[in-house]
Amino acid sequence: MTALTSTALVTGGSRGIGKAIAETLAQDGYQVYLTYVSKPQEAEAVAAQIQARGGQAKAFPLNVGNAEAVTRFFAEEIKEKVDLAVLVNNAGITKDGFLVRMKDEDFDAVLQINLRGAFICMREAAKIMTRQRHGRIINISSVVGQMGNAGQMNYTAAKAGLLGMTKSAAKELASRSITVNAVAPGFIETDMTASLSEEVRKTYEEAIPLKRMGSAQDVANAVAFLASDRAAYITGQILAVNGGIYC
């Protein structure tokens, strides 16, 4: 029987933190499957860049909030076709607003993608990894899931829920040599933070003990560590990548 290719699945891997994670895991020798919802050209460009550097990568359209689509994707593209070594739940959206003005649909949409979507992907990955008796699941949470943030009740709830799911899944899957951990980034230089005014940016930087925002690569490095053999005895943990803003 031909050995299956060791593969890392990165949801939301076409830009920002997801892009950096996909590129870093490819450098570490994984075939990378990255998913996207919109802008296929960006996702294909990431895959092409990885291939140009000698790595292996494929881009797939996938809305993680659609349970049927996720189940079909795992059945058609993952199960018995690759060795699913790593799942990185990175896909997410924001629909910010203060509590008294937040619409029900905005609250539900964020939890549907950021929390339920991660749950569905974990469930389908766990079915495969359990049979393989190995695997790494890494959930991308956020510092706001630990400390809260005004105007982001939906996003904060989803990211806090992801931490709880991480700890529960770690206990359930450890006997099958599957580790489950979370990375909680702080304020990171991304497309979303690029739109901040200079005044707001300065306020954030002054509140961070290291006096700078983090980079997407800082987060990718943490994910790569948790995906590696060096983290084989680490599970159920939250690795904060936040410059010391929340300890």
Closest CA to 7 of 32, 43, 25, 28: 32
HEC string of 133-199?
A: CCEEEEEECCCHHHHCCCCEHHHHHHHHHHHHHHHHHHHHHHHHCEEEEEEEECCECCHHHHCCCHH
Domains plus CATH for the chain? 6-240 (3.40.50.720)
The tens-digit pLDDT sequence of the chain (247 residues) is 467 899 999 999 999 999 999 999 999 999 999 999 999 999 999 999 999 999 999 999 999 999 999 999 999 999 999 999 999 999 999 999 999 999 999 999 999 999 999 999 999 999 999 999 999 999 999 999 999 999 999 999 999 999 999 999 999 999 999 999 999 999 999 876 777 788 888 888 999 999 999 999 999 999 999 999 999 999 999 999 999 999 9
Give catalytic residues, as residue numbers: 155
Question: What element of type H or E holds 200?
Answer: helix 198-207
What's the predicted TM-score (pTM) here? 0.96
Return the pLDDT at 2: 63
Tokens (6 digits) for 199: 């005044």
Return the pLDDT at 165: 98
